[in-house]
Amino acid sequence: MADRMIIDTCAPHTKLSLKKGKELGLTDGMTEMTFASFSIGPLKVSEFTIQFEDLESDGIVGLDFLKKTGAKINLDAMTISSSRT
């Protein structure tokens, strides 16, 4: 879905750019959309609501997604995985 996602542990919500939103069917006036499933790398969630903003990157991975997936970030290896597997 998105190519350049920023992981932001201070952002409370996951967001996608308006450009990506339009590619996914976002219409004028909509600021969020709920997806049946949403994944980033090996992490996947069901019934997840994404907010849309005018961003330079494709999106921001926020705490809502990181917590829901039990994300574990390995800065030495520059990888993200689930602590629940």
Q: What is the pLDDT of residue 51?
A: 94
How many CB atoms lie under 10 A from the CB of residue 37?
9
Q: What is the pLDDT of residue 67?
A: 95
Q: Are 10 and 44 in contact (CB under 8 A)?
A: no
**pLDDT tens for residues 3-58?**
788 999 999 999 999 998 888 888 888 899 999 999 988 899 999 999 999 999 99
Counted domains in the chain: 1
**pLDDT tens for residues 57-79?**
999 999 999 999 999 999 999 98
CATH number for position 74: 2.40.70.10
Where are the strands (E) in the chain, listed by range? 5-7, 15-17, 32-40, 43-53, 59-61, 71-74, 79-82
| Domain membership of residue 66 as a residue range | 5-82
Q: For residues 15 and 62, what is the distance between their CA atoms, to the nearest angstrom?
A: 7
**Residue 15 dihedral angles phi and psi, to the nearest 5°:** -135, 150
The candidate with the shortest Cα–Cα distance to 45, out of 28, 76, 67, 23, is 67
